[in-house]
Amino acid sequence: MAILALSLSSVPSILLAALGLGFVIFIHELGHFAVAKWCDVNVERFSIGFGPVIWSRTWGETEYALSLIPFGGYVKMLGQDDMDPSQETDEDLAEDPRSYTAKSVPQRMAIISAGVIMNLLTSVLFFLFAFKLGVEFTPAVVGYTRPGDPAWVAGLRTGDEFTQVNGRTGRPLRFIDLRQEIALSSGDVHVKGIRRIYDGVKMTEEDFTTTLVPKTGDIIPTVGVAPSLGMRLPQAAEGEKATVTIPGTAAAKSTPPFEGGDEIVKIDEVDISGYADLQNVLARRRGQEVTFTVKRGKKGETPTTHEIKTPPNYFHTLGLKMDIGPITAIQQGSPATTAQPPLAVDDKITHIISETDGEREVGADLNALELPDYLATLHGQEIKIRVKRSTSGQEESIECTITPDDRPGWTETPMGPSVPLTIPAIGIGYQVMPLVLKVEEGSPAFGEVNRGGKPSFIKSIEFFPPISKEAEPITFDNKSEDPVNWAYAFWAMQQHPEAEVVLQISEQDSGQEYTTKKLTPQPRDQMGSEWYLPIRGIPLNMLTERRKAATYGESLSLAYNRTKSSLLEIYLTLRNLATGRVSPKALRGPLGIAETAYHFSEKGLGDLLWFLGLLSVSLAVLNFLPIPVLDGGHMVFLIWEGIRGKPASERVMIAANYVGLCFVLCLMLWVLSLDIFMHLLGWWKM
């Protein structure tokens, strides 16, 4: 969790967030207070916050107070005190007609439930005004699928737009709807959507249906999918002179240069309506200079149109040819599954055999990192892939006949240390081992790696300057059960083409270790052996849209449905917490709530009201859980009293309240520790 920046520009947002949070608590306690007064109960104190009173004023018989710990509030009535539960069984207090205990069970039920009812009513109002003002959301469009994870295995692609996720339907769906259905599911998640396809000539759309099997065992169930990027470049930081594009890439050499806030609308003659279009067109024209058409202009101004010419972007390499590792994942319905015989997990590709190039050995001849692009060039042809496969403890060589699809390589990138490199054309993910088989003569690493003329292991790679503030050397352990893929480090080179690297080497035969000098990756732009990246080095903002109701009637309908959905989501969250499908580490405490409120207030009043609506629903549900000291615990005792005709004994009331108080305090300490030690300081692992 980033610490909130206390700049002058942040102060209004912080104050707005604080007022919003305080108002939600105030509304809850106001419900208790109003109904208690209506039932003629003597309210001794109305407090926002707990603990020592820091400000108070008495009007009439009631003291109105602000207390030190701003994590809630309370209404103290005559004859009712959570810190002294014996008051509810005190016969003397019960004789006072204005005490809480002197009132009938239905009256006390009304008082106890009033806070929850007020929160539910105000949540509808919060959502109503939020929809009328407009709420920013991230559409349920796929921007990235993590290779090897369930979404990738199921065949989801960049640009896929969901129109149905389990029981939720509509267009547009929000990405958070998808995440919630996955996180709160008790099993598989069934999805439908629309896929955009570009064949190099035209864009087409087709419907798709698939089933996702969430991966459990982490904080929440996941499928490995991220939201899409939009078409707008981020604004440069205030006072920043550097280009908004990535230094050292083709985009940084564009003429005229890109500017912050530019919106991409066309590449050459192709209209671009989303990130998938951008990715597909650039991947298929990777070796060409392209012309971007962008719209430029400040908000409220009429945008102007500009054409920007951008040259090809080359892979930057050290000249290392790496050993290929085993296949680790296979996509459903891909050419790998329809091959004869099908490819299998743990196969190791050794040769590619085609009519075009004959037989090529993967490793010393055909670089393992170039396989995604190489097989894409063979699309539509029937080729053979020779693999080594272990069967019954013995290794054998098998030839698989396969026809690659027309899907460019390096469009599914290894964004994590152990994430496999994929070959989209055949639908597999595989490891690239940190074993250098050969070093190209004249390359940056020639004479620095494989000094003894034999293959050697890369133990680590370090970037200069560091690629992030927290960056440490990327280390490779070939004996690990979850090894770091060399492709991950190689992709980092492409994202930081101006960085130098230092390798720590271990010779395979002798075991001798040494460290190279600083090496500068060079672009693969030599005539006849060019290797083009499918991207140009243009950073983009996240894709967002704004939902705004046209009428108050529409807004009320949306608000009512949103409140119902929020209630269901909280129930499912509690259920999955109880069953262990969702980890308790997924919870956030008051610091997390405050940070989230600040985040929404930065976006605007409509977005803050949206969050306050969610918070109101959460407060209503959590307060009505059957836990002593909470409203739900009081309701349980009142139901018991209504059935038996008399209240529970003093001993039972005291014991239950202390157990409930201990539970609530432990829960508060737990979520506070998560806020501080996991999200703020990063000491605990997620």
User: How far is the C-alpha of 641 from the C-alpha of 645, rounded, in Å?
Assistant: 5
Of 584, 422, 427, 599, nearest to 3 by C-alpha is 599
Sole residue written with tokens 């000291």: 629
* Cα angle, residue 268 at apex, residues 265 and 273 outer, rounded to 5°: 30
Whether the Cβ atoms of residue 25 and residue 593 lie closer than 8 Å to each other: no
**HEC profile for 307-346?**
EEEECCCECEECCEEEEEEEEEEECCCCHHHHCECCCCCC
Pull the structure tokens for residue 189.
């998640």
Task: State the number of CA atoms in the 13 A half-sphere of 5 facing the CB.
Answer: 6
Q: Of the residues 29, 88, 462, 569, which is catalytic?
A: 29
Residue type, 340: Q
Distance CA 428, CA 404 (A): 11
Residues 6+ apart with CB under 8 A from 669: none
Distance CA 566, CA 143 (A): 26
CA 579, 583, 586, 589: dihedral to nearest 10 degrees? 80
Q: Omega of the bond prior to 85 within 30 degrees of 0, cis?
A: no
How many angstroms separate the CA atoms of 245 and 495, rounded?
11
Burial class (CB in 10 A: 0-12, 13-18, 19+), 98: middle
CA-CA distance, 480 to 677, in Å (whole number)? Answer: 28
H helix or E strand, kind and range, residue 548: none
Cβ neighbour number for residue 302 with a 10 Å cutoff: 6
CB 195 within 8 A of CB 159: yes
Helix, strand, coil % over all residues of the chain, rounded to 5: 35, 30, 40
Q: What are phi and psi of 628, to 5 degrees?
A: -50, 145
Q: Which residue has the tokens 């002179």?
A: 241
Computed over its alpha carbons, how large is the radius of gyration of the chain? 31
Phi (first) and psi of residue 624, to 5 degrees = -100, 10
The three state secondary structure string of 25-75 is HHHHHHHHHHHHHHCCCCEEEEEEEEEEEEEEEEECCEEEEEEEEEEEEEE
Omega before residue 341 within 30° of 0, cis:
yes
Is 481 one of the annotated active-site residues of the chain?
Answer: no
Distance CA 325, CA 677 (A): 38
Are 258 and 538 in contact by the 8 Å Cβ rule? The answer is: yes
Q: Which residues contact 612 (CB under 8 A, 6 or more apart)?
A: 20, 21, 23, 24, 126, 597
Question: Reduced to 3 states, what is the DSSP secondary structure of residue 490?
Answer: helix
Nearest Cα to Cα of residue 539 among 351, 164, 259: 259
Amino acid present at 594:
A
Contact 485, 417 (CB under 8 A): yes
Q: CB-based burial of residue 216 (10 Å sphere; 0-12 exposed, 13-18 middle, 19+ buried)? A: middle
* Catalytically annotated residues: 29
